[in-house]
Amino acid sequence: MHYTLEKLNLYHNPRCRKSREALAYLEAHKIPFTIRHYLVDPLTVEELQKVLQLIGKTPAAIVRKNEALWKSDFSQQKWSDPALLEILTQHPKLIERPIVVSDQSGVLARPLENLQEFLKNF
């Protein structure tokens, strides 16, 4: 399988099995990409807004609601999108992963089949 596409960006957490699967898939298929370790290099609100636009998701759709931090500190309230953006940029471990984006579109690559389907568009 060979893809001709612009370079992809993988928002990656190396401790996450699903994120490692996406990384391995991109490498195995020799698809050009860059990695952003978003826990070490957190996204700004503007960057996260752009990513959400590319993947067609709302902030609430990418919150890891089973994380202990979410359950203990945030789950008791209903949050607006701007407030959720702030929470997610201040606590990036609450962001669902992996996310893969190009300049034009993107995908929440969980499960891996989402990434495979996304790559068919190139």
b vs e for 62-99, b when ≥16 Cβ sit within 10 Å of the residue's Cβ? bbbeebeebeeebeeeebeeeebbebbbebbbbbbbbb
The catalytic position among 16, 84, 87, 107 is 16
Active site residue 78: no
Distance, in Å, from the CA atom of 47 to the CA atom of 80, rounded to the nearest integer, reads 18
Tokens representing 69 are 């931090």
Which residues are identified as catalytic? Answer: 16
